A and B are shown apart, each in its own frame.
Chain A
Amino acid sequence: MSLTLFIEQILNGLQFGVMLFLMAAGLTLIFGVMGLINLAHGSLFMVGAFACAAVAAATGSFWLGLIASLAAAAAAGALVEILVIRRLYERDHLDQVLATFALILIFSEGTRWVFGSFPLYLDIPQLLSGAVHLPAARSTQYTVSR
């Protein structure tokens, strides 16, 4: 195994790990600080991603899509809190698991209903596309965006 490949794979592992950490951080933060289990945490990511893809496809601008994704995820979160989770703070964790698991199913079917079952694709904006040279390994180019 060459040094270039080794360094590149380390970076790949690192970026994947950081991405998983970002997602998991929200989950543990809510559980640790608020004592609430929200299994539908991932669904909020999904809502954001779909909003971004839909808006970017409609307007042609990734940045508008980014704003839309934040707004949509925040709105979905607020809605879930008001309608469901507010009633569950005092309840047992098992009740929270049950209710938020139902939310996963509702969100999944809901997005399939709205967007269809065909996957949506998002183009990387010009600013973030391309590769960077790393000085440590002469010929290593590493894709920044993703």
Chain B
Amino acid sequence: MRKLLAASLLALSASVAGNAFAEPIKIGMITTLSGGGAGLGIDARDGFMLAIEQSGNKEIDVVVEDDAQKPELAVQIADKMIQSDKVDLMTGIIWSNLAMAVVPSATAQDVIYLSVNAGPSALAGAGCSPSYFNVAYQNDNFHEAMGEAANKDYKKTFIMAPNYPAGKDSLTGFKRFYKGELAGEVYTKLGQTDYAAEIAQIRASGADSVFIFLPGGMGIAFTKQYAQSGVGLPLLGPAFSFSQDVLPAIGDAALGVKNTASWAYDLDNEANKAFVEGFREAYGRLPSVYAAQAYDTANLILSAAGKASVKDKEAFRAALKEADFDSVRGKFSFNTNNHPIQDFYVREVVKDGDTLTNKIVATAFTDHKDAYAAECKM
């Protein structure tokens, strides 16, 4: 009798999960939950967990750990997750310098890594791996879109980014499509909070616009100080600098700023509506682009879990590569180097009631691919 009960329970749970391989999947999520970059990691975690909860799949076990934005800590956590927790998949890293420290060794140990945010160029080109999937973008992409969009209005832009892999990728991406002149190019310290020196340089440079890539707390600090300084040149940037996690802290100083992303909360498709509503209901705030990417990552994993066993790495990788899920970004597919082919939009910071948020105002690229895919041999 007990056996029968157990068997029927098992059958029930399999049918509830609604997939052919209702086996446990253990996912290790390393992300930034403390310090100036915490907003990004918290949003990524919340977006990811929302998709898992909405799926009702009880077989998925997510282990979340805080890397405090420190590469050495991320490496330690990754070793622990791979060796003692025996995770099947890994995800969650926000910062490219941490991704560079963790991803190559994880994929070398045959753990599949899915990026929710960081997309360093080194891992998109020669350093690509069949076990590394980037569900977000290649780092250059948002900045390429802004470079293209800036051509319309500006001739002389001052560009600035933090000195780390994503910062280098950022300015490279912007310059790849921007045809105007550069009034200056500055790399700042990662995590810098005082931008008085840079603002003085901007003022002296004779620029007609300022492009900044300053994610998290850096963007908040810069934008506030910039508004205070009275320089007043138009600000441009990727969505990271004006994302939902930083807008409330910047305040009205951000109004009217143009920024580029692959996603916005008003993007018109069914998956996105379900996501934005679900996120609002579950967490009481608007999602950011990080949350959207993480939500897509979780749904990609769920779609692959329905097709193949996670123990059969070859089959699971093939299932992931099909990207057979409803992306909140609308169209989504993988290029040859496991990086996305997707559209990019220009958004503008507006006030919706009392909340600052981004609305799409134009499309920058359609079916855009990254510049490194040709260098990837796999």
Contact = CB atoms under 8 A, between A and B. Distances in A.
A119 B230 contact: no
B200 interface: yes
B203 A4 contact: yes
Nearest to B68: A117
B230 A117 contact: no
Chain A interface size band reads: 20 to 34
Residue of B33, B35, B204, B220 with most partner-chain A CB within 10 A = B204
A124 interface: yes
Contacts of A59: none
Given A118-B38, A119-B36, A8 B228 contact: no
A48 B51 CA distance: 40
A93 to B, nearest CB: 30
A12 B197 contact: yes
Chain B interface size band reads: 20 to 34
Interface string B213-236: 000010010001100111000000
B39 interface: yes
Interface string A1-26: 11011001100100110000000000
Nearest to B33: A117
Is chain A's binding surface mostly helix, strand, loop or mixed?
loop
A8 B203 CA distance: 10
Interface string A103-146: 00000000010000111010110000111000000010101011
B42 A146 contact: no
A94 to B, nearest CB: 28
A9 B197 CA distance: 6
Residue of A5, A112, A117, A124 with most partner-chain B CB within 10 A = A117
A124 B228 contact: yes
Interface of B: 33-36, 38-39, 42, 66, 194, 196-197, 199-201, 203-204, 217, 220, 224-225, 228-230, 249, 251
